Amino acid sequence: MLVEALPTAGRPAPSAPAGEAGGPARAPRRRLRALGRHLVPLLYIAPAFALLVLWTYRPLAQTFQLSFYDWNMVPSNPMTPVGLDNYREVLALPEMWQAIRTTALYIGALLVFSTVLPVVIALLTRRVGGRARGFYQALIFVPVLITPVATAAVWRWLLAPEGGPLTTLLSAFGMEPVNWFRDPQLAVLAVVLITGWQLMGFGVLVVAAGLTGIGPDYAAAASTDGATAWQTTRWITLPLLSPTLVFLALMTLLLSAQWTFPVIDVLTQGGPGNATSNVYHLLWQFGFRNFDAGLSAAAGVLFFVAFTLVALLFVKLMDRLSFYDD
């Protein structure tokens, strides 16, 4: 027993495992490293988040606050609290409901230019080979690059009832000159055609990108089974293109009022008789023509809530309206 005990007495004390050596001292370092791993991504997005708060959420909160006051936008005049009077007044205005109906009309008409025509054009240009396909697509996309105000100014010159190039051309075929911006129906049609002409290039670009994501194996298998070109397009291409079309429809639904605003402001100023005014132009009229900031803010809050509910409903239905090949 003595012989076996001597070496044991001189042997150094067993050391702790490598992972546990200095454990209490290294634990704060590990926590700091873990905290750093979580903080670094947040630091990357911090500038963008700060600008988002400064330019989006802060004005949104101020608009909501302003909707409960009466103020003519003169800094020296104080804001007067009016409770819910601005909301009651906005909902009672006939101009409000006419602007909502016109906005719905714009959305329905522009869906043709953002989804239907781009699909047709993209499918047709898909059959064109070589550089000609890129040329045609670029030719259609060029109007997107022109600013909306410049587009509206050029179309105002083209459609001028006296001396306008299109009016002169129509007169050469014996047609009477038409004042597009004095007749309510023609004015709405002009706003739709001009905005749709500029919007269609973006739709063609998005649809063409969606078509490139559809593998050619589906069409080859369908052709082997005897499917015609129309059957392949109807039952294979269009369903696989549905996520792209749903995206374009959602964009049109939410942004049609914004897209048509500069055309309306330059060409018709909302007339004749508020026939072409949409919800955005109505807000602008309340705020910057009538200088009624409270009324404009109340209408803005109502439109914000309405568009948010519509967008949430559309996003909820997106999975049902879209078809994926996975």
pLDDT in tens, 305-324: 998 998 888 888 877 777 77
Among 112, 135, 133, 113, smallest CA distance to 124 is for 133
pLDDT band at 10 (very low <50, low <70, confident <90, very high): very low
Place of tokens 């903080």: 39
Kindly state the average pLDDT of the residues 19-45: 75
pLDDT in tens, 258-273: 899 999 998 888 888 8
Q: What is the mean pLDDT of the chain?
A: 84
Distance CA 182, CA 206 (A): 35
**Is residue 1 over pLDDT 70?**
no
**Is residue 172 over pLDDT 80?**
yes
**Is residue 13 over pLDDT 60?**
no
pLDDT of residue 22: 53
Show the tokens assigned to 171: 């007169």
Amino acid, res. 201:
G
pLDDT of residue 207: 92
pLDDT of residue 301: 94
Q: Give alpha helix (H) positions in 15-116.
A: 23-52, 58-66, 85-92, 94-111
Amino acid, res. 91:
L
pLDDT of residue 192: 94
pLDDT of residue 113: 93
Cβ atoms < 10 Å from Cβ of 66: 23
Show the tokens assigned to 18: 């490598």
